[in-house]
Amino acid sequence: MDFTSNLREMLWAQIGENKPYANRKRMADALGIDPSQLNRFMDGERGLAVDSLGRILDGLSARIVLPDALEAEGAREVCFVSPRMTGAGRDVSPPAAEDYFAVPLASEPVAAGPGRVPEDQIRGWVLVWRHHESIRFRNDLVAVEIGKNQLSMTPTLHPGDIVLVDRAERSPDPAGKIMLVSEPGPEGGCAVKRVSTRHVDGDLELVFYSDNSRDFPPSVYRLNRDYGGELSHAIAGRVVWAWSDMTRK
């Protein structure tokens, strides 16, 4: 899919009930561009002026990444080499490489660590369709497999399930997000938990809790007291997607 078509798809995905914009007029007003110009662009009748394109990209919180800069991203572009297709006819066109990300699969401590995942710590790669609503506009992604004996998030997540973590999203609000978290201290472990917060005595209380709360009670920490005020030391990112073995559901 070329850039122009991709941008149109992104804009259409922002319009509708329970979306950021109720209609195209509301979107044009919010982005500060001529509604007729936006309508013609979205209907495929003409392109956009440079200043209008810039306002749209700013409004989408988008950024342009040149090919030479892709190595700096957590998720890499994909180059398909004779992919094996299943469930499709013989004459079906193969998948387009530009529609997918290859996301590094790493252990929880490595995924929660600072910087990019080192090559020698990458356990494999997970292929992700980049146009899904939960993936669109994200690129600092890492995949983590739920460990063999990690039962705290059952029945939502089971050992062997793989979760996709957006390391660019560390805000715990609103409460209840599933996130990759770290216990305080150099020996602190990492896990996938839900997170809630509240302000207590001039500090921010962080509650890491499980879906299997009967067997795994919540852990409570303070941002300033236990993490030196650094949220990135407590929360490594938000779980935005999961691959789950449905035979156990």
**Which ranges in 60-208 belong to alpha helices (H)?**
108-112
* Two structure tokens written together for 105: 């699969």
Q: What is the mean pLDDT of residues 213-242?
A: 95
CB 125 within 8 A of CB 144: no
Name the pLDDT band for 151 (thresholds 50, 70, 90): very high
CB 62 within 8 A of CB 136: no
Q: Is the pLDDT of residue 83 over 70?
A: no
> According to the model, what pLDDT value does residue 12 have?
85
CB 78 within 8 A of CB 100: yes
The residue length of the chain stands at 249
Fold assignment, 96-248? Umud Fragment, subunit A (2.10.109)
Looking at this protein, which amino acid is placed at residue 56? Answer: I
| Domain boundaries of the chain, sorted by first residue | 3-59, 96-248
Peptide bond into 155 cis (omega under 30): yes
> According to the model, what pLDDT value does residue 46 have?
83
Q: Is the pLDDT of residue 78 over 80?
A: no
> From CA 11, how far away is CA 28, in angstroms rounded?
11
- Name the residue with higher pLDDT: 85 or 37: 37
Fold assignment, 3-59? 434 Repressor (Amino-terminal Domain) (1.10.260)
Per-residue burial over 111-124, b if 16 or more Cβ lie within 10 Å, else e, is bbbeebbeeeebee
Report field, pTM of the whole predicted structure over 0.85: no
Q: Which of 65, 77, 61, 75 is nearest to 14 (CA)?
A: 61
> From CA 148, how far away is CA 153, in angstroms rounded?
12
Q: Is the pLDDT of residue 55 over 50?
A: yes
Q: DSSP label at 53?
A: H
Q: Which of 128, 125, 136 is nearest to 242 (CA)?
A: 128
